[in-house]
Amino acid sequence: MKCCTLWIWLSLVSAGPLAAAAPNILFIAVDDLRPEFGAYGADTVKSPNLDRLARSGMTFRRAYCQQAVCSPSRTSLMTGVRPDTSKVWDLQTHFRAALPEVTTLGQHFKNHGYFVQGMGKLYHGGFDDAPTWSVPWQAAKGAAYGRAENRDASDVASTAAGKPAGRPAKGKRAQAGGPRSRGPAFEAADVPDETFTDGKVAALAVRTLGQLSAQPKPFFLAVGFAKPHLPFVAPQKYWDLYDPAQIKLAANPFRAKAAPDYAVLEGGELRNYRGIPDGPLSEGLARQLKHGYYASISYMDAQLGRVLDELDRLGLASRTIVVLWGDHGWKLGEHGAWCKHSNTENDTNAPLLVSVPGMKHVGSTCDGLVEFVDIYPTLADLAGLPRPGHLEGTSFRPLLENPLRAGKSAAFSQYPRSLGDGRQLMGYSMRTARHRFTAWVPRAEPHAIEAVELYDHAVDPQENVNIAARPENAALVEQLTAQWRLGWKGARPADDPAK
């Protein structure tokens, strides 16, 4: 702690003068959180602090990540560019390999007089980016499991799988283990909150807010929570919030009719954990997994509450913008699958809560289309900073000022597929106010289209029937194809200054 305090002091005293009116930023990332809690109308999940943040700000109901897996999504948000620009489509590539000079979100604030500090999961896994921060990023790592037998089994499995593998080569990250290489997929243990990483991250965030509160320099504090990422591990008291008998299983545990067989995969990430079979899961196991996912949300929510409480206690809330985002959605048995890794609404639609001091529409919701790549320009806009020229998103500040106004006409996501015959496809997905349109394109022939998916959310919000091949939809497919080819630049609002 002495070393950390010294870093903060040296950064602050060397910063020079600073605008007294500049808002602080509390930037909160949550891993694998789908928009299923109170603020999104789901009363099953116990999330008092997420809901409290929503009541103090605005809930974006149609916010979309640019690729539904950790590193590409986080890279896109933190750099302000899309996966095809960053060249990050996997978990092994660092964005500095393709964009060595890019200015990240935190770096931009640092360059304009902010003290920028990060802790917990912000960039993916073993990755970090030193230029982003004013002081070195901190991990605050806790135990993977609460029970000794699970910790021991997990350690043995990790060693057998060749992990830890040491530092990967520059620009790369070590691959994850194979099937059953990890411990159990869920656990309830009677242990303190700070046994696990999120409890330690919350404690570090609380201490850091105390250190920053007396300083004149505005801060950008980034806090990354790991749960509800697998394994679904949380103290017993959070499991006890739920009656397993009341947990509803997915209403559509089947693949979308007439969709390509590669559009959704069953969930290989889950199969890395002990006790998870290949193929369909039993109803009992599915219920246990969903119970664990909800308990993990409630555990993370309690840690969020500690941070928000300290923000209030220190008198910082009235001059701090708070933004909370989940890096992508997550399937809990929908389409017969688990985890993320697809272009479905379940995977690309993710939570976004934004609270701005003095905002007019406190506690409101917004149904305008926004993308995670828009968060960078929005925060710069709200803080009065210039917009870097490389950004590929649009500030949604106008939606914060009027949630009923028209925003962009579409949001864009993508996901790659490697097929068994050696072909490489990229699924490019476009979400409009009514439809989801996905074109599967050979990587070697980017102007060709191998398959198309089309879902009408007015009648099929769960995306259960692909209607692209129906003759009566030919004109609609042609229209949406033309709109998709115009891309994100064609979807910007008419009043976007960058248009």
**Range with the poorest average pLDDT among 25-34, 43-52, 162-171, 216-225:** 162-171
Instruction: Note the pLDDT of residue 177.
Output: 55
What ranges make up the beta strands (E) of 311-400? 320-326, 331-332, 338-339, 352-355, 364-366, 370-371
Average pLDDT rounded to a whole number, residues 467-488? 98
What is the residue type of 246?
Q
Out of 65, 94, 108, 124, which one is annotated catalytic?
Answer: 124
Instruction: Note the pLDDT of residue 179.
Output: 64
What residues have CB less than 8 Å from 422, skipping those under 6 apart?
A: none
Helix (H) or strand (E) segment spanning residue 111:
helix 105-111
Q: Is 339 a catalytic residue?
A: no
Q: Is 70 a catalytic residue?
A: yes
Q: What is the pTM of this model?
A: 0.92
Structure tokens at 425: 């496809």
Task: Check residue 131 and report its DSSP letter.
Answer: G
Average pLDDT rounded to a whole number, residues 324-335? 98
Average pLDDT rounded to a whole number, residues 291-305? 98
The topology (CATH level 3) of 2-15+23-162+177-408 is Alkaline Phosphatase, subunit A (3.40.720)
CB-count burial class (<10 Å; 0-12, 13-18, 19+) for 201: buried
Query: What are the residues facing 437 on neighbouring strands?
Result: 430, 454
Out of 70, 108, 291, 335, which one is annotated catalytic?
Answer: 70
Give the model confidence (pLDDT) of 29-66 as tens digits. Answer: 999 999 999 999 999 999 999 999 999 999 999 999 99
Domain spans of the chain?
A: 2-15+23-162+177-408
